[in-house]
Structure 1
């Protein structure tokens, strides 16, 4: 079955034309050069807001892959916003995804391998992806920098099974013949009256404690504490993609990563300081 997943957020979260996408990606990349460490990159965590807010942070992770790896496939763990969070993780196992930059093929062989090793944890459920944006906004970056690469999208619920999903996939990749890069897509604290979350008050003075709230889950990711991520997010509301983080960290650990490296931590307010200091969202770019 040749299933085509059409772009859902083109024209809102990111541009609706190929040319505009490529121009904005080039602007997000700028002249960024990744730091020396780590010398090789196997996994990353990227934000998924509109590119005008989080695109430059995500670009730093993609640039690190461009400089320090040659992935043939990107496995992307997505944050669940609209799917039933009581379900298993949901994979899009065959066909292609369409963006303004064209179509990117699903790595059917690797998707099939995941379904074989995770029959109790991952369902072949393409419907889970139709209205989600957390994976979609990453795909044009892949098309721009890695035009031959394939993808495997998986929506990962924020529950205890996320760690097992990541660990099993990482163990599979340790001996897998194709070089697969792992991405986890998440934004951090959604803070302010519009989000119904104001434990530190409101206004400009709440930005610093909100970033400190972000830092709690960043620290868990960079110290490889995958098993603590979901509970942390439940307690402090500091990630919308806790399942994606946990799965990414667990997979990276299974592949031998000992720590994560924070490339950037910022907020929507810092990106656009001219906006009223009311509602903020945190963004982090991390590589392993």
Structure 2
């Protein structure tokens, strides 16, 4: 029986009407850079409303157009419900205005056997950081399923255990998507400095240094970095902006956004 997770941000964080949403996404993708790269295994993508971070997200998702990924493992931080560990949820489908996205329940069941996972389905109820990735995926890919993982608090050792699980699921038709924004509500110049330091740590695959940086998806990113080290993937920055760059208002506190791809072979 279907257990559908209804959208909680359609009409607010992105358009709630199918045709309007599709047009917005296609416009963002059309305006994104065309520098194609191959063998993408993972993608870090922001999770603000599309009016703010959609352009940066599009720089990554444009790389996926025409690709044949069938299974998407999504790592997203919990903003609404504090807990320890990771929740894989109980839904069979996630709904957006573009349709229902099926969950790969078989793969999820295998992953949930690990002691790292917490029976915390409420972490998925109102979480935007995972849902915000889905419409982009629906526009650039065909016939895919997801493994939706919402992260509470974990440590570096646990991130390494998650990486073991993730890399064990990887093949040429599997993609890892990691949802995070960068620094929050600093002045424009300070935000650029903080975000540069954070991005540098990520590009160096430096988990210890990244752990000290300001990013709301810290724990999902740590799991991705540990996965990249195990698989010998190479990170590449595709786009960076903050909300001040997007709105033109650099007098208020801003939020940083980055799109980073990880490329390499499947061992």
Same fold (TM over 0.5): yes
Measure, in 2, the Cα distance between the counterparts of 1:166 and 1:34: 33
Which shifted more, 16-25 or 207-216?
A: 207-216
Measure, in 2, the Cα distance between the counterparts of 1:72 and 1:93: 20
Listed as ranges, the gaps of 5+ residues in structure 2 are 263-267
Instruction: Give the corresponding residue for 2:98.
Output: 101
| Cα shift at 1:36 | 4.9
Measure, in 2, the Cα distance between the counterparts of 1:76 and 1:165: 16
| Cα shift at 1:103 | 0.5
Instruction: Give the corresponding residue for 1:183.
Output: 177
Instruction: Give the corresponding residue for 2:130.
Output: 135
Deviations 1:55-78 (A, max 9, x none): 1111111111225x4210111100
| Cα shift at 1:42 | 0.3
Measure, in 1, the Cα distance between the counterparts of 2:59 and 2:247: 18
Against the structure 1 CA distance between its residues 283 and 2, is the aligned structure 2 distance closer, same or farther, given a 3 Å change threshold? same
Instruction: Give the corresponding residue for 1:211.
Output: 192
Q: Quick check: 1:159 aligned with 2:154?
A: yes
Q: Quick check: 1:91 aligned with 2:88?
A: yes
Q: 2:111 aligns with which of 109, 114, 133?
A: 114
Instruction: Give 3-state SS (helix, strand or coil) of 2:128's partner.
Output: coil
Instruction: Give the corresponding residue for 1:62.
Output: 61
Is the CA contact (8 Å cut-off) linking 1:207 and 1:280 kept in structure 2? yes
Q: Quick check: 1:228 aligned with 2:197?
A: no
Is the CA contact (8 Å cut-off) linking 1:170 and 1:255 kept in structure 2? no
Measure, in 2, the Cα distance between the counterparts of 1:171 and 1:45: 16
| Cα shift at 1:218 | 1.0
Deviations 1:109-144 (A, max 9, x none): 21122123xx21113433211111001111011111
Aligned residues: 261
TM-score norm. by structure 2 comes to 0.91
Instruction: Give the corresponding residue for 2:265.
Output: none
TM-score norm. by structure 1 comes to 0.84
| Cα shift at 1:242 | 0.4
Q: CA RMSD in A?
A: 1.9
Measure, in 2, the Cα distance between the counterparts of 1:223 and 1:34: 25
| Cα shift at 1:276 | 6.2
Q: 2:69 aligns with which of 62, 68, 71?
A: 71
